[in-house]
Structure 1
Amino acid sequence: MRISSRFFAAASIAALSLFAGSAMAQEKLVIGTEGAYPPFNNLQADGTLVGFDIDIAKALCEEMKVTCEFVTNDWDGIIPALQAKKFDAIIASMSITPERLEKVDFSKKYYNTPPAIAVPKDSPLTEATEAALAGKTIGAQGSTTHSNYAEKHMSKADIKLYPTADEYKLDISNGRIDAVVDDIVVLSEWIKSPEGACCKILSPLPIDVEINGQGAGIAVRKGETALADKFTAAIAAIRANGKYKEINAKYFDFDVYGE
């Protein structure tokens, strides 16, 4: 009987050690992103993902002591893909809006920048009022806060929606549309590039909180608030330890975190 007790004691210790080792092993998270929204996330020709979202995601994963794998997904199907468990979280400049909060949960914001409107450099437009834009064709990426904004605040214009930002950029550079609406950072970085030399920022647009939301957050499946909270804590940590500032400075000359 004594031998059996020692055997079971040894077996219990081994099992506990195995469990502890497993618990201490790095957790893996699969991160979904679009890969077509520079400078925030962009899939390069060699298959490398780059951008502010990607660097922030890597910093958050390091802070959370988990390994992260990235998966790209078309924007208009990215929430259904999350719900179908193709990945564990979305880090893709997704604004925290009331409409999206019905489908997913979010971390607190990791940046917040306003929308803007861009036009060709020779455009006769001088202001972004509904009256001035009446009858104009305005491009925006579909299923985004920016397309929703255009449809609400530019209702007298013809709103043309595109699967990706690259496609509306191509159309405005070729004179097929009169203006485009997107995040001010995305448009500002684009007009600095050779591809965006056609155009200029007409003006920033007033934030509509109901549409533009509370900034960009990290989306997780509904009910997975513990994971969202871990991301929120990691965002606060990299803001405090300087890592966020380091990444921010790599892409922008101002703090995109916002108020």
Structure 2
Amino acid sequence: MTEFPNLSRRGFLTRTAAVGGALTVPGLLAACSKTDAGASGEGSTLDKLKKQGYVRVAYANEAPYGYEEGGELKGEAPTLHREIFKALGVDELRPAFSEWDGLIPGLQAGKYDVISAGMAIVPERCERALFSEPEFISPTALMVKRGNPRKLTDLASVKEAGVTVGVMSGAVEKNYATAAGVSEDRIKTLQKPQDGADAVKGGRIDAFLLTGISLNWLARNNPGLQVTDSFVPELDGVAQYSPGGAVFRQGSEDLRDAFNRELKKITSDPARYVQLIGEYGFGEDTIPPADLKTAELCKG
């Protein structure tokens, strides 16, 4: 079986809203009950959601994963989750905003039923909540000037060309670059994704290293730049897939398992997967490998 890492890919991006696709949100910031839908009483968690006709979801306002714009909840996770819950007989998503570090505590407190924020599957989070199987992986890419004048394709080509590459402060991409043999003096640290785009445009760096998902989104508002095909970097010989998924409260195994059955139908159908969330920068290269399993990711 393939070995997969357990790295958080989602701790360094700024939590800002952006533009994109569409789910109507009635009363975005309405207060939520703290009652655990599956903690007591008769019936499963899913049965209770079917009966009430909605599921309470939390998002962190981070494009393109889950964010609000103009009274609508948009992004990869809400779009995918809406499709899955409809198939399960629950027609409505009722969203609540949370800061990133409040997502799991809010779930544990019963403020919502599911986290719809593209959260990375890592062992320390698995100890506190239930994760779905991966919804996506986050392969890496390079942002370069249009035409890709240095003909860069991956970190090996960056090293060979002797060019300067930018990485986000505190992000794992610096580790990827050094592991590939890029010298420290050829790695520049930046604070925000837009800083990376501006540095490429201004010629201060030759390429900006980040997930393909985030770079494709960034490229929409930065003409004159392009994103290379994604690639999967390695650390100590282990492929860095950086998967994310939906998150459920402990004790809601029935809901997670039902969700997983519907999720598999989507991730097993590339055309449907891309049709649903392609507008947010997700494509066939972000579909999780069939043998990438949450149970293994949670072991660490």
| TM-score normalized with structure 1 length | 0.65
Which one-letter code corresponds to 1:112 in the other structure?
A: I
Matched, 1:152 2:178: no
- Which protein has the bigger strand share? 1
Alignment partner, residue 13 of structure 2: none
Aligned residues: 228
The answer to whether the 8 A contact 1:141-1:168 is kept is no
CA distance in 1: counterparts of 2:144 and 2:76, whole angstroms: 25
Q: Report the counterpart of residue 199 of structure 1 in structure 2.
A: 225
Query: Out of 117, 133, 138, which is 2:166 matched to?
Result: 138
Amino acid at match of 2:122: T
Q: Cα offset for 1:206?
A: 2.0
CA contact (8 A) 1:42 1:49 kept: yes
Greater CA deviation, 165-174 or 55-64? 165-174
1:154-208 CA-partner distances (Å, limit 9, x unpaired): 343343344xx567556665677664333323323442x2x22142224533244
Aligned partner of 2:74 in structure 1 is 50
Q: What per-residue deviation string (whole Å, max 9, x for no partner) do you get for residues 83-134 of structure 1?
A: 4544322222223234543443211122334121213448768453474799
Contact kept? 2:139, 2:230, Cα under 8 Å: yes
Q: Secondary structure of the residue that 2:155 maps to in structure 1?
A: coil
Q: Tell me, yes or no, if structure 1 residue 180 matches structure 2 residue 203.
A: no
State the structure with more CA Rg: 1
Distance 1:250 1:102, change over 3 A: same
CA distance in 2, matches of 1:203, 1:99: 31
| Alignment partners' CA distance in 2, 1:229 and 1:62 | 15
- Describe the superposition over 1:16-65 as per-residue Cα deviations: whole angstroms up to 9, x where unpaired: xxx89x96622542212233323x43432x23222332221111121222
254, 258, 274: which is aligned to 1:230? 258
Distance 1:123 1:240 in 2: 37
Alignment match of 2:241 (pick from 193, 196, 212): 212
Tell me the percent identity: 20
Give the AA of the match of 1:257: I
Contact 1:57 1:91 in 2 (8 A): yes
Change (3 A) 1:104 1:141: farther
Q: Which amino acid aligns with 1:29?
A: V
Q: In 2, Cα distance between the equivalents of 1:49 and 1:244?
A: 19
Q: Could you say which residue in structure 2 is the equivalent of 1:10?
A: none
Change (3 A) 1:135 1:99: farther
Name the stretch that deviates more: 127-136 or 55-64.
Answer: 127-136
Contact in 1 for aligned 2:274/2:283 (Cα 8 Å): no
Q: Which residue of 1 aligns with 2:35?
A: none
CA contact (8 A) 2:140 2:230 kept: yes
User: What residue number does 1:110 align with?
Assistant: 135
Tell me by how many angstroms 1:221 deviates. 3.5
Does residue 60 of structure 1 match 2:96? no
The answer as to whether partners of 1:133 and 1:154 remain within 8 angstroms in 2 is no
Query: Where does the alignment leave 5 or more consecutive residues of structure 2 unmatched?
Result: 1-41, 179-183, 290-300
TM-score, normalised via structure 2 length: 0.57
Contact 2:61 2:67 in 1 (8 A): yes
Query: Which has the larger helix fraction?
Result: 1
Do the aligned partners of 1:113 and 1:257 also contact (CA within 8 Å) in 2? no
Q: 1:203 to 1:247 in 2, by over 3 A?
A: closer
Whether the 8 Å CA contact 2:141–2:212 is kept in 1: the answer is: yes
